[in-house]
Each structure stands twice: as structure tokens, then as C-alpha cells.
């Protein structure tokens, strides 16, 4: 019988401590050519300015994520991303589960950033800067605290009231500007809906690590040209060159896929300033959905 798993059920089953190593395996498998996954296809829904994507993959499981991205939803108090994941049996094609994909998208994105941070950030990293105050900002604080012992978390958002509330929730400190948050920070996360650069490379501390998870369109960006000239890792070369405005508009040279570095195929160059540009991949969603399905089936 096909399982139907809503967000509360998924939240009760899925733990970040389990998800981070699962994402490491998925990223390494992808970069080793062990995953069947096309670049996501999509259409623009305009008006009101939304996007609709299909993301299939064959990895630890077989399935597809159907996801919508409506940036203006933030102003309506609605999630900007909504998704459904269909998981199928790779042996027969039979449907196994239908899972709400919003929380899975939120958690797997942060878990991937945590895997990159674990590899690329200084072991002595103590100061975390978060640009953004939405669900990804919250999830990233949870995930990154599992891989580094931060003594200070700085928060900046273009909406000060949101930044103030977020900082209070996580025990962080609100800053008055993005520059104030980023200066001397060891790890930086950009998780915004920005369409123009909000992070300047001149602010970034030498040897710091940046996780850039917003700007998922070829004409959007969060990082300026200087920031993008650091040692650049991506989740997928093909995806970044087609979809990432940060990469396309800056002309930045991609050093490696993060899965290659996790597998030891390239040096991580963690002593240098590093940037991980994360667009998100179907293999991350399907691997996470398969993990949730196994946990649900074992109960």
C-alpha cells in the first residue's frame, strides 16, 4: 500500500544527525556518476511571478519532486517553496510513498551546507553569520551547529523585525547591516530571496567559508564578483552553469563539485577562502525521501 506522509509525520521521523551523512553519500554518488539525474525542468508562472519545477532522480531510490517557488509568498505569510515527492520502487516502478516535500527541501538543503561546512570551514570556526531570516536560515543554524561549535551567531535580514525575532529564537545577535554580520565571521550563509548581490567579497574574512543557497535563477545573485572569485565548489557543474546567476554573471571558475571533495578526489583547500554554491538537486530529495520511507516502514 502506498504511504502518504504529511509534514508532521516527516518531522517526527527525520533527524538532522542522520540526514547530514545521507547527503554526503548522495553528493559523492552524484559526482561519481552513480546517479541518473537530468537538470531540473521548469516553467515560469507569470503572473504572479512563480516557478514550477520537475526534479526526477534514480539513486538510493527512484522518484520525482514536484516543486513550486513563489518568492512573493513571503509577503503573504506563506512558504516560498512547496513540494510533493513521489517515491517508487526501482525494481518494479510501483508507487511506494507520497511525501510532503516542503520540510524535506528545507532540511536537505541545510544538511548539504553542513556537509560542505564540515569539510571546508576551519575546525576553529566560532562565528557564524546568517544573511536571511526565513526557514532556510533557521534550518541552517540547526544543521551547522552540529558540525562546528559556534560561540556567536550574527543575523541580518532586509526586514529588521524578522531578523530581531529570528535572533531571539536562536540565541543570536541582530546586526544593523550585512557587512557588520559578515566582517570577521568564520562561516557565512546567504539564504535570501535577493536578486542582486547582498554579500561583498571585501567583507569576507580570509580563510572563511561561505554557503550560498539563495539566487536559484540564472539572472539572480547574492554574491558580488569578488566573493565569487574564491575557491568555488558547486553541487553540480551542469546545474550551476545553467541555473546559477552567481556563477554565470560573475564568470567564476568552478574548482570542483562538493561530492568530488567529499570523496577525496580533489583537495578541499580548506585553508583558503571557500564558497559553496548550492542550487539543490533531485538526488538530495529522493535520498531523503527514501530515508524517511525506510524509517516509516520500520515502525
pLDDT of residue 15: 98
pLDDT of residue 77: 86
pLDDT at 71 over 90: no
Instruction: Convert the pLDDT of each residue in 92-145 to its tens digit.
Output: 999 999 999 999 999 999 999 999 999 999 999 999 999 999 999 999 999 999
pLDDT of residue 3: 96
Are β-strands 127-131 and 231-234 bridged in parallel, bridged antiparallel, or unpaired?
Answer: unpaired
Long-range contacts of 72-80 (CB under 8 A, 24+ apart): 72/48, 74/134, 74/193, 79/135, 80/134, 80/193
Domain of 64, CATH number, reads 3.30.1780.10
pLDDT of residue 56: 97
Same-domain check for residues 174 and 31:
no
Same-domain check for residues 120 and 69:
no
Report the alpha-carbon distance of residue 179 to residue 150 in Å, rounded.
Answer: 19
Same-domain check for residues 14 and 69:
yes
pLDDT of residue 46: 92
Positive or negative CA dihedral for 295, 22, 146, 40?
negative
* 81: confidence class by pLDDT, cuts 50, 70, 90: confident
Compute CA 42 distance to the chain's CA centroid, rounded to the nearest angstrom: 19
* 60: confidence class by pLDDT, cuts 50, 70, 90: confident
The HSE-up count of residue 273 (CA atoms within 13 Å, CB side) is 14
Same-domain check for residues 73 and 204:
no
Instruction: Convert the pLDDT of each residue in 150-186 to its tens digit.
Output: 999 999 999 999 999 999 999 999 999 999 999 999 9
pLDDT at 4 over 90: yes
* 148: confidence class by pLDDT, cuts 50, 70, 90: very high
Average pLDDT over residues 280-290: 98
Which of 83, 39, 82 shows the shortest CA–CA distance to 57?
A: 39
* 1: confidence class by pLDDT, cuts 50, 70, 90: confident
Edge to edge, the sheet with strand 173-174 lists: 173-174, 152-156, 127-131, 187-190, 209-212, 274-277, 231-234, 254-257
pLDDT at 206 over 90: yes
Share of the chain above pLDDT 70, in %: 100
* 70: confidence class by pLDDT, cuts 50, 70, 90: very high
Same-domain check for residues 209 and 191:
yes
Report the alpha-carbon distance of residue 299 to residue 293 in Å, rounded.
Answer: 10
Same-domain check for residues 215 and 240:
yes
Report the alpha-carbon distance of residue 225 to residue 97 in Å, rounded.
Answer: 43
Residues 66 and 100 sit within 8 Å (Cβ to Cβ): no
Same-domain check for residues 50 and 136:
no
Residues 70 and 48 sit within 8 Å (Cβ to Cβ): yes
**249 φ/ψ sector (left φ>0, alpha ψ -120 to 50, else beta):** alpha
SS3 144: helix
Same-domain check for residues 165 and 270:
yes
pLDDT of residue 224: 98
Average pLDDT over residues 184-207: 97
What Rg do the C-alpha atoms of the chain give, in angstroms?
18
* 80: confidence class by pLDDT, cuts 50, 70, 90: confident
Domain of 176, CATH number, reads 3.40.50.720
pLDDT of residue 112: 98
Which of 109, 114, 116, 41 shows the shortest CA–CA distance to 81?
A: 109
* 33: confidence class by pLDDT, cuts 50, 70, 90: very high
Are β-strands 62-69 and 81-88 bridged in parallel, bridged antiparallel, or unpaired?
Answer: antiparallel
* Cell numbers for 88: 517508487
pLDDT of residue 140: 98
**Phi and psi angles of residue 206, each rounded to the nearest 5 degrees, phi first:** -55, 130
Same-domain check for residues 156 and 267:
yes
Mean of the per-residue pLDDT values of the chain: 96
- With both helix axes pointing from N to C terminus, report the angle between 16-31 and 135-144 in degrees, rounded to the nearest 10: 90
* Cell numbers for 276: 559553496
**Locus of grid cell 546568517:** 130
Domain that holds residue 85: 3-105+283-297
**Count: domains in the chain:** 2
Same-domain check for residues 205 and 175:
yes
pLDDT of residue 262: 98
pLDDT at 75 over 90: no
Same-domain check for residues 165 and 233:
yes
pLDDT at 20 over 90: yes
Same-domain check for residues 94 and 187:
no
Amino acid at each position: 500500500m502506498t504511504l502518504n506522509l504529511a509534514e508532521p509525520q516527516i518531522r517526527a521521523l527525520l533527524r538532522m544527525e542522520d540526514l547530514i551523512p545521507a547527503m554526503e553519500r548522495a553528493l559523492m554518488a552524484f559526482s561519481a556518476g552513480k546517479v541518473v539525474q537530468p537538470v531540473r525542468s521548469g516553467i515560469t508562472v507569470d503572473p504572479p511571478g512563480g516557478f514550477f519545477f520537475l526534479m526526477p532522480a534514480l539513486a538510493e531510490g527512484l522518484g520525482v519532486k514536484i516543486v513550486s517557488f513563489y518568492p512573493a509568498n513571503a509577503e503573504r505569510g506563506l512558504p516560498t517553496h512547496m513540494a510533493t515527492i513521489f517515491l517508487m520502487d526501482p525494481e518494479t516502478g510501483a508507487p511506494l510513498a507520497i511525501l510532503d516535500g516542503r520540510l524535506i527541501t528545507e532540511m536537505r538543503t541545510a544538511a548539504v551546507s553542513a556537509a560542505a561546512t564540515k569539510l571546508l570551514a576551519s575546525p576553529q570556526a566560532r562565528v557564524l553569520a546568517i544573511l536571511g531570516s526565513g526557514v532556510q536560515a533557521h534550518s541552517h543554524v540547526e544543521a551547522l551547529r552540529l558540525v562546528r561549535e559556534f560561540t556567536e551567531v550574527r543575523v541580518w535580514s532586509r526586514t529588521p523585525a524578522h531578523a530581531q525575532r529570528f535572533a531571539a529564537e536562536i540565541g543570536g545577535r541582530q546586526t544593523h547591516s550585512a557587512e557588520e554580520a559578515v566582517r570577521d565571521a568564520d562561516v557565512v550563509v546567504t539564504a535570501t530571496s535577493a536578486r542582486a548581490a547582498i554579500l561583498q567579497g571585501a567583507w569576507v574574512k580570509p580563510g572563511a567559508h561561505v554557503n550560498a543557497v539563495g539566487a536559484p535563477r540564472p539572472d539572480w545573485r547574492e554574491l558580488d564578483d569578488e566573493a565569487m572569485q574564491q575557491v568555488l565548489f558547486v553541487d553540480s557543474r551542469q546545474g550551476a552553469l545553467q541555473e546559477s546567476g552567481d556563477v554565470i554573471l560573475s564568470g567564476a571558475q568552478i574548482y570542483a563539485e562538493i561530492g568530488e571533495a567529499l570523496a577525496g578526489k580533489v583537495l578541499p583547500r580548506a585553508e583558503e577562502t571557500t564558497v559553496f554554491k548550492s542550487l539543490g538537486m533531485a538526488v538530495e530529495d529522493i535520498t531523503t525521501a527514501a530515508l524517511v520511507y525506510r524509517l516509516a516502514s520500520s515502525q
